[in-house]
Amino acid sequence: MSIKALLHLIFAFLIATPALAQTPEPVTLEPMDLLDAELIVIGADGTEKRYTPEQLETLTTYRLRTTTPWRPEPADFDGVLLSDILKESGLHDVAAIRVTAENDFGSTLQRALWENVPVLVATRVNGQPHSRRERGPIQFVIGADDYTSSGLATEAHLVWMAARIEAE
């Protein structure tokens, strides 16, 4: 086989193979009964805003197709951008936030992370409510490319069962 023929085969394969989307794309989600959960966001002025997964989905929703350290096969994660939640809560310009999970696990995220890397706060995976067994019902997800190459994201930022966000 000639090099030219081989290059044509490789090109045809690349076009025919679906890419692993690494950038959240806007998506319209059909209403569905989601799992019982709540994300409490403490604003810069100390006020609390509580979001159920359904209330989170009233913000602009996105889909991110990616793998995670716990999911070697790509999955479609649906949810909202952390940056949008922080803007709505007046936390977008703080130096860092603390995210706490239902089990009291906590992680600090620096502003450089959400300003440079799209962090998805997922409420669904593969079109279904995101169960606790599958690291939901509210999980922070970062595209695999951003996770591995940004130098900003670590496994600790992929908080699942997220329950609280506040300025650090």
Q: What is the mean pLDDT of residues 75-85?
A: 97
- Number of domains the chain contains: 1
Instruction: Please report, for the domain that includes residue 136, its CATH number.
Output: 3.90.420.10
Instruction: Decide if 6 is inside a domain.
Output: no
Instruction: Decide if 9 is inside a domain.
Output: no
Instruction: Decide if 135 is inside a domain.
Output: yes
Instruction: Decide if 7 is inside a domain.
Output: no
Distance (Å, whole) CA 109 – CA 97: 5
What's the pLDDT at 4?
52
Contacts 24+ apart (CB under 8 A), 94-99: 94/44, 94/167, 94/168, 95/168, 96/167, 96/168, 97/165, 97/166, 97/167, 97/168, 98/164, 98/165, 98/166, 98/167, 98/168, 99/140, 99/159, 99/162, 99/164, 99/165
| Span between the terminal Cα atoms of the chain, in Å | 60
pLDDT tens digits, 3-33? 654 434 443 333 333 444 478 999 999 888 8
Q: What is the mean pLDDT of residues 44-54?
A: 93
Instruction: Decide if 42 is inside a domain.
Output: yes
Instruction: Decide if 13 is inside a domain.
Output: no
Instruction: Decide if 2 is inside a domain.
Output: no
Domain limits for position 72: 21-167
> Alpha carbon 116 to chain centroid distance?
13
Q: What is the mean pLDDT of residues 29-57?
A: 92
Instruction: Decide if 12 is inside a domain.
Output: no
